[in-house]
Amino acid sequence: MNRDTLIKKWLNDDLDASEKEAFKQLDDYQSNLDIIDSARHFKASNISEIDEFEIFKARYKPQNKVQPKRNWLNPLLRIAAVLVVGFGIYFSFFNTNLAEFQTLAGEKSVIELPDNSEVRLNALSTLSFNEKKWNATRKVELEGEAYFIVAKGKQFDVHTAVGTVTVVGTEFNVKQRSNYFEVKCFEGIVKVSSENFIRQLNAGEVYRLINGQFYEGKTDQTEPQWTNDVSSFDGISLDQVIFELERQYNIDITLNNVNTDRIFSGGFTHKNLEEALISITQPMNLTYKINSSTSVVINGQ
Protein backbone atom coordinates (compact mmCIF):
# COMPACT_ATOMS: atom_id res chain seq x y z
CA MET A 1 0.00 0.00 0.00
CA ASN A 2 1.44 3.39 -0.96
CA ARG A 3 2.16 6.08 1.64
CA ASP A 4 -0.62 8.46 0.56
CA THR A 5 -3.24 5.78 1.08
CA LEU A 6 -1.76 4.91 4.48
CA ILE A 7 -1.88 8.53 5.61
CA LYS A 8 -5.46 8.98 4.40
CA LYS A 9 -6.58 5.89 6.28
CA TRP A 10 -4.65 7.07 9.37
CA LEU A 11 -6.46 10.44 9.32
CA ASN A 12 -9.77 8.57 9.12
CA ASP A 13 -8.68 6.20 11.94
CA ASP A 14 -9.19 3.29 9.55
CA LEU A 15 -5.87 1.41 9.75
CA ASP A 16 -5.80 -2.28 10.58
CA ALA A 17 -2.94 -3.82 12.61
CA SER A 18 -0.63 -4.52 9.67
CA GLU A 19 -1.33 -1.11 8.13
CA LYS A 20 -0.52 0.62 11.45
CA GLU A 21 2.88 -1.08 11.44
CA ALA A 22 3.49 0.02 7.87
CA PHE A 23 2.43 3.57 8.75
CA LYS A 24 4.91 3.69 11.67
CA GLN A 25 7.73 2.83 9.27
CA LEU A 26 7.18 5.97 7.18
CA ASP A 27 10.15 8.34 7.36
CA ASP A 28 7.95 11.30 8.39
CA TYR A 29 5.73 9.35 10.82
CA GLN A 30 6.68 11.26 13.99
CA SER A 31 6.61 14.65 12.27
CA ASN A 32 3.08 14.10 10.95
CA LEU A 33 1.90 12.75 14.29
CA ASP A 34 3.29 15.66 16.36
CA ILE A 35 2.05 18.47 14.13
CA ILE A 36 -1.48 17.13 13.85
CA ASP A 37 -1.53 16.48 17.59
CA SER A 38 -0.47 20.08 18.28
CA ALA A 39 -3.19 21.45 16.02
CA ARG A 40 -5.84 19.16 17.57
CA HIS A 41 -5.06 20.13 21.15
CA PHE A 42 -4.49 23.84 20.68
CA LYS A 43 -6.97 25.88 22.72
CA ALA A 44 -6.98 29.67 22.82
CA SER A 45 -7.12 31.12 26.32
CA ASN A 46 -7.89 34.61 27.58
CA ILE A 47 -4.27 35.11 28.58
CA SER A 48 -1.41 33.33 26.86
CA GLU A 49 2.13 34.03 28.00
CA ILE A 50 4.83 34.53 25.37
CA ASP A 51 7.07 32.03 27.18
CA GLU A 52 4.54 29.26 26.50
CA PHE A 53 4.52 30.07 22.79
CA GLU A 54 8.31 30.13 22.64
CA ILE A 55 8.44 26.69 24.26
CA PHE A 56 6.00 25.35 21.66
CA LYS A 57 7.98 26.95 18.84
CA ALA A 58 11.24 25.46 20.14
CA ARG A 59 9.66 22.02 20.20
CA TYR A 60 8.22 22.46 16.74
CA LYS A 61 11.43 23.53 14.96
CA PRO A 62 13.25 20.16 15.16
CA GLN A 63 10.25 18.49 13.52
CA ASN A 64 10.85 20.47 10.33
CA LYS A 65 14.21 18.77 9.83
CA VAL A 66 12.46 15.74 8.31
CA GLN A 67 12.22 16.15 4.54
CA PRO A 68 9.45 13.87 3.27
CA LYS A 69 8.63 13.46 -0.38
CA ARG A 70 6.20 15.94 -1.85
CA ASN A 71 2.61 14.79 -1.50
CA TRP A 72 -0.89 16.16 -1.11
CA LEU A 73 -0.73 16.18 2.74
CA ASN A 74 2.32 18.45 3.21
CA PRO A 75 0.46 21.71 2.39
CA LEU A 76 -2.26 20.77 4.90
CA LEU A 77 0.31 20.09 7.62
CA ARG A 78 1.99 23.42 6.97
CA ILE A 79 -1.36 25.21 7.15
CA ALA A 80 -2.13 23.49 10.46
CA ALA A 81 1.23 24.54 11.88
CA VAL A 82 0.80 28.12 10.67
CA LEU A 83 -2.63 28.29 12.33
CA VAL A 84 -1.19 27.08 15.63
CA VAL A 85 1.63 29.62 15.49
CA GLY A 86 -0.69 32.41 14.31
CA PHE A 87 -3.21 31.88 17.10
CA GLY A 88 -0.38 31.72 19.63
CA ILE A 89 0.98 35.08 18.50
CA TYR A 90 -2.49 36.67 18.47
CA PHE A 91 -3.44 35.59 21.96
CA SER A 92 0.01 36.40 23.35
CA PHE A 93 0.15 39.97 22.06
CA PHE A 94 -3.43 41.14 21.55
CA ASN A 95 -5.57 39.36 24.14
CA THR A 96 -3.81 39.81 27.48
CA ASN A 97 -6.25 42.49 28.72
CA LEU A 98 -3.68 43.32 31.40
CA ALA A 99 -3.73 46.88 32.74
CA GLU A 100 -0.51 47.86 34.50
CA PHE A 101 0.48 51.07 36.28
CA GLN A 102 3.95 51.96 37.57
CA THR A 103 5.43 54.85 39.52
CA LEU A 104 9.02 56.03 39.56
CA ALA A 105 11.10 57.10 42.56
CA GLY A 106 9.58 60.23 44.08
CA GLU A 107 6.36 59.77 42.06
CA LYS A 108 2.79 59.02 43.15
CA SER A 109 -0.28 58.19 41.09
CA VAL A 110 -4.07 57.92 41.52
CA ILE A 111 -5.78 55.07 39.65
CA GLU A 112 -9.51 54.57 39.18
CA LEU A 113 -10.52 50.92 38.80
CA PRO A 114 -13.43 49.75 36.60
CA ASP A 115 -15.80 49.57 39.61
CA ASN A 116 -14.89 53.15 40.68
CA SER A 117 -12.63 51.91 43.45
CA GLU A 118 -9.64 54.22 43.90
CA VAL A 119 -6.00 53.26 44.33
CA ARG A 120 -3.28 55.73 45.33
CA LEU A 121 0.05 54.27 44.32
CA ASN A 122 3.18 55.27 46.27
CA ALA A 123 6.69 55.72 44.83
CA LEU A 124 8.42 52.80 43.04
CA SER A 125 5.29 50.65 42.99
CA THR A 126 3.41 48.58 40.40
CA LEU A 127 -0.29 47.72 40.21
CA SER A 128 -1.87 45.42 37.60
CA PHE A 129 -5.23 43.74 36.96
CA ASN A 130 -7.17 41.96 34.22
CA GLU A 131 -9.71 44.36 32.72
CA LYS A 132 -11.71 41.67 30.91
CA LYS A 133 -12.20 39.55 34.04
CA TRP A 134 -12.81 42.47 36.40
CA ASN A 135 -16.62 42.13 36.58
CA ALA A 136 -16.25 38.48 37.58
CA THR A 137 -13.19 38.82 39.83
CA ARG A 138 -12.04 42.01 41.51
CA LYS A 139 -8.36 41.16 41.92
CA VAL A 140 -5.19 43.27 41.66
CA GLU A 141 -1.48 42.46 41.87
CA LEU A 142 0.66 44.85 43.88
CA GLU A 143 4.41 45.37 44.21
CA GLY A 144 5.26 48.24 46.52
CA GLU A 145 2.72 50.34 48.44
CA ALA A 146 -0.82 51.51 47.73
CA TYR A 147 -3.81 52.97 49.56
CA PHE A 148 -7.15 51.41 48.53
CA ILE A 149 -10.59 52.98 48.75
CA VAL A 150 -12.74 50.05 47.66
CA ALA A 151 -16.27 50.48 46.31
CA LYS A 152 -18.78 48.09 47.84
CA GLY A 153 -19.52 45.02 45.76
CA LYS A 154 -18.03 41.59 45.28
CA GLN A 155 -14.94 40.35 47.08
CA PHE A 156 -11.86 42.46 46.39
CA ASP A 157 -8.39 40.83 46.60
CA VAL A 158 -4.96 42.46 46.69
CA HIS A 159 -2.24 39.91 45.90
CA THR A 160 1.40 40.53 46.81
CA ALA A 161 4.47 38.32 46.82
CA VAL A 162 4.11 37.89 50.60
CA GLY A 163 0.39 37.88 51.38
CA THR A 164 -3.16 38.52 50.21
CA VAL A 165 -5.63 41.08 51.54
CA THR A 166 -9.35 40.38 51.06
CA VAL A 167 -12.21 42.85 51.56
CA VAL A 168 -15.67 43.76 50.28
CA GLY A 169 -15.75 47.54 50.67
CA THR A 170 -13.36 49.45 52.90
CA GLU A 171 -10.24 51.63 53.11
CA PHE A 172 -6.82 50.15 53.79
CA ASN A 173 -3.12 50.50 52.98
CA VAL A 174 -0.86 47.68 51.78
CA LYS A 175 2.92 47.95 51.79
CA GLN A 176 5.08 45.12 50.42
CA ARG A 177 8.78 45.79 50.14
CA SER A 178 11.82 43.55 50.57
CA ASN A 179 11.34 41.56 53.83
CA TYR A 180 8.54 43.97 54.82
CA PHE A 181 4.78 43.44 54.57
CA GLU A 182 2.27 45.72 56.28
CA VAL A 183 -1.51 46.19 56.18
CA LYS A 184 -3.30 49.09 57.89
CA CYS A 185 -7.10 49.07 58.05
CA PHE A 186 -8.68 52.53 58.18
CA GLU A 187 -12.32 51.61 57.64
CA GLY A 188 -14.38 48.41 57.66
CA ILE A 189 -12.80 44.95 57.98
CA VAL A 190 -10.03 43.24 56.01
CA LYS A 191 -8.71 39.69 56.04
CA VAL A 192 -4.96 39.17 55.68
CA SER A 193 -3.49 35.83 54.59
CA SER A 194 0.29 35.58 54.73
CA GLU A 195 2.39 32.41 55.01
CA ASN A 196 1.01 30.60 58.09
CA PHE A 197 -0.90 33.64 59.40
CA ILE A 198 -4.53 34.51 58.81
CA ARG A 199 -5.76 37.66 60.54
CA GLN A 200 -8.92 39.74 60.46
CA LEU A 201 -8.28 43.44 60.96
CA ASN A 202 -10.82 46.00 62.10
CA ALA A 203 -10.49 49.76 61.56
CA GLY A 204 -7.47 51.11 63.42
CA GLU A 205 -5.55 47.82 63.45
CA VAL A 206 -2.18 47.13 61.83
CA TYR A 207 -0.57 43.87 60.67
CA ARG A 208 3.17 43.63 59.97
CA LEU A 209 5.47 40.85 58.83
CA ILE A 210 9.13 41.97 58.99
CA ASN A 211 11.96 39.54 58.25
CA GLY A 212 9.61 36.65 58.98
CA GLN A 213 8.46 38.06 62.34
CA PHE A 214 4.79 38.92 62.93
CA TYR A 215 3.70 42.11 64.71
CA GLU A 216 0.33 43.65 65.55
CA GLY A 217 -0.27 47.34 66.18
CA LYS A 218 -2.77 50.18 66.28
CA THR A 219 -3.19 53.43 64.37
CA ASP A 220 -5.38 56.45 65.07
CA GLN A 221 -4.84 57.84 61.58
CA THR A 222 -7.75 58.03 59.15
CA GLU A 223 -5.58 57.58 56.05
CA PRO A 224 -1.90 56.85 55.30
CA GLN A 225 0.25 59.94 55.75
CA TRP A 226 2.26 59.32 52.56
CA THR A 227 -0.82 60.41 50.58
CA ASN A 228 -0.22 63.84 52.16
CA ASP A 229 3.50 63.77 51.25
CA VAL A 230 4.69 62.61 54.67
CA SER A 231 6.19 59.19 55.46
CA SER A 232 5.46 58.19 59.06
CA PHE A 233 6.83 55.29 61.13
CA ASP A 234 5.90 53.77 64.47
CA GLY A 235 8.59 51.56 65.95
CA ILE A 236 10.23 50.62 62.63
CA SER A 237 13.91 49.71 62.14
CA LEU A 238 16.05 52.53 60.77
CA ASP A 239 16.98 50.62 57.60
CA GLN A 240 13.32 50.66 56.45
CA VAL A 241 13.19 54.41 57.07
CA ILE A 242 16.35 54.93 54.97
CA PHE A 243 14.95 52.79 52.14
CA GLU A 244 11.78 54.89 52.07
CA LEU A 245 13.78 58.12 52.05
CA GLU A 246 15.73 56.86 49.00
CA ARG A 247 12.48 55.97 47.22
CA GLN A 248 10.80 59.31 47.86
CA TYR A 249 13.78 61.47 46.80
CA ASN A 250 15.38 59.15 44.22
CA ILE A 251 18.75 59.34 45.98
CA ASP A 252 21.50 56.97 47.09
CA ILE A 253 22.36 57.07 50.79
CA THR A 254 25.72 55.88 52.11
CA LEU A 255 25.84 54.92 55.80
CA ASN A 256 29.00 55.23 57.89
CA ASN A 257 29.04 53.58 61.31
CA VAL A 258 25.23 53.57 61.52
CA ASN A 259 23.31 50.82 63.33
CA THR A 260 20.30 50.30 61.06
CA ASP A 261 18.64 47.90 63.53
CA ARG A 262 17.78 50.82 65.82
CA ILE A 263 14.06 51.57 66.13
CA PHE A 264 12.67 54.79 64.73
CA SER A 265 9.34 56.51 65.42
CA GLY A 266 8.54 59.71 63.57
CA GLY A 267 8.33 60.86 59.98
CA PHE A 268 9.74 62.99 57.18
CA THR A 269 8.36 65.28 54.49
CA HIS A 270 8.50 64.48 50.77
CA LYS A 271 8.86 68.15 49.86
CA ASN A 272 12.28 69.12 51.22
CA LEU A 273 15.30 66.79 51.45
CA GLU A 274 17.12 68.89 54.03
CA GLU A 275 14.10 68.91 56.36
CA ALA A 276 13.61 65.18 55.83
CA LEU A 277 17.20 64.41 56.77
CA ILE A 278 16.98 66.55 59.91
CA SER A 279 13.78 64.74 60.95
CA ILE A 280 15.55 61.37 60.74
CA THR A 281 19.09 62.11 61.91
CA GLN A 282 18.54 64.45 64.87
CA PRO A 283 16.38 62.05 66.96
CA MET A 284 18.93 59.28 66.31
CA ASN A 285 21.99 61.44 67.09
CA LEU A 286 23.31 61.10 63.55
CA THR A 287 24.76 63.62 61.10
CA TYR A 288 24.42 63.94 57.35
CA LYS A 289 26.08 65.49 54.32
CA ILE A 290 24.43 66.15 50.96
CA ASN A 291 27.08 65.52 48.28
CA SER A 292 24.82 66.13 45.29
CA SER A 293 21.18 66.05 44.27
CA THR A 294 21.37 62.24 44.17
CA SER A 295 23.93 61.40 46.86
CA VAL A 296 23.77 61.69 50.65
CA VAL A 297 26.03 60.37 53.44
CA ILE A 298 24.72 59.69 56.95
CA ASN A 299 27.28 59.30 59.73
CA GLY A 300 26.99 57.66 63.11
CA GLN A 301 28.79 58.54 66.33
* Radius of gyration, alpha carbons of the chain: 29
Q: Evaluate whether 272 touches 288 at the Cβ level (below 8 Å).
A: no
Asked whether residue 44 falls in the same domain as residue 156, the answer is no
C-alpha to C-alpha distance for 148 and 111, rounded to whole angstroms:
10
- The number of domains in the chain is 3
What single letter denotes the amino acid at residue 260? T
Adjacent-strand bridge partners of 298: 255, 288
Residue 253: pLDDT above 50? yes
Mean pLDDT of 241-258: 97
Q: Quote the domain boundaries for residue 183.
A: 98-225
Q: Cα separation of 38 and 31, whole Å? A: 11
Q: Considering only residues 15 and 124, tell me which one the structure prediction assigns the higher pLDDT.
A: 124
Distance CA 121, CA 103 (A): 7
The reply to whether 13 and 88 lie within a common domain is yes
pLDDT tens, residue by residue, 32-41: 665 555 444 4
Which letter, b or e, does each residue of 81-94 get, where b requires 16 or more Cβ atoms within 10 Å of its Cβ? beebbebbeebbee
Of the ranges 72-81, 104-113, 250-259, 261-270, which one carries the lowest mean pLDDT score? 72-81
Last residue of a domain, one of 77, 93, 109: 93
Average of per-residue pLDDT across 81-91? 50
The enclosing domain of 212 has a CATH number of 2.60.120.1440
pLDDT over threshold 70, residue 270: yes
Query: 156 and 179: one domain?
Result: yes
Domain boundary among 201, 225, 249: 225
Top pLDDT among 241 and 68 is at: 241
Q: Which of 93, 127, 153 delimits the end of a domain? A: 93
Q: Are residues 73 and 179 in the same domain?
A: no
Please say whether the beta carbons of 268 and 274 come within 8 A.
Answer: no
User: What is the rounded average pLDDT of the residues 177-187?
Assistant: 94
Q: Does residue 293 carry a pLDDT above 50? A: yes
Cα 118 to Cα 112: distance, rounded to the nearest angstrom = 5
d(CA 254, CA 217): 31
Residues 257 and 274 in one domain: yes
Give pLDDT tens digits for 130-162: 999 999 999 999 999 999 999 999 999 999 999
With cut-offs at 50, 70 and 90, classify the pLDDT of residue 11.
low
Q: What is the mean pLDDT of residues 192-207?
A: 90
Q: Give the bridge partners for 148, in sequence order.
A: 119, 172
- Do 117 and 181 belong to one domain? yes
Q: Are residues 30 and 51 in the same domain?
A: yes
Q: Identify whether residues 120 and 204 lie together within a single domain.
A: yes
CATH number, position 261: 3.55.50.30
Q: Which residue has the higher pLDDT, 165 or 9?
A: 165
Phi and psi at residue 58, to the nearest 5° = -65, -35
174-197 burial, b at 16+ Cβ within 10 Å, e below that, comes to bbbbeebbbbbbbbbbbbbebeee
For the four alpha carbons of 208, 213, 214 and 216, in that order, the dihedral sign comes to: negative
169 and 255 co-located in one domain:
no
Least confident window among 3-17, 62-76, 97-111, 199-213: 62-76
**Do the Cβ atoms of 240 and 180 come closer than 8 Å?**
yes
Q: What percent of the chain has pLDDT over 90?
A: 62
Strand (E) positions, the chain? 98-102, 109-112, 118-121, 126-130, 138-149, 156-159, 163-167, 171-177, 180-187, 189-194, 197-202, 205-210, 213-218, 230-237, 252-256, 263-269, 287-292, 295-299
153 and 195 fall within a common domain: yes
pLDDT of residue 79: 59
Does one domain contain both 135 and 182?
yes
| pLDDT above 70 for 63 | no
Considering the domain architecture, whether residues 82 and 37 belong to the same structural domain is answered as yes
User: Amino acid identity, residue 156?
Assistant: F
